[in-house]
Amino acid sequence: MICTFILMKLTISGYSTALFATWYFIDELGILLDAGDGLTSSLLQKAGK
């Protein structure tokens, strides 16, 4: 089995509306992620905030 990894610099932008949702957009890949409350809380804990 051969695995190839391509390392690239990604630009990740976060958008949040206080009442509804949090979104993360990965510009280079054109991917928009809907991050629910659980994911946002988990990311903040890992960031040590």
Q: For the chain, which residues make up each domain, given as ranges?
A: 22-49
Tell me, what DSSP letter sits at residue 42?
H
Reported for 15-22, long-range contacts at CB under 8 A and 24+ positions apart, including other chains, are 16/40
Reported for 14-19, long-range contacts at CB under 8 A and 24+ positions apart, including other chains, are 16/40
Model pLDDT, residue 14? 84
pLDDT above 70 coverage of the chain, percent? 59
> pLDDT band at 3, cuts 50/70/90?
low
Tell me which of 27 and 16 has the higher pLDDT: 27
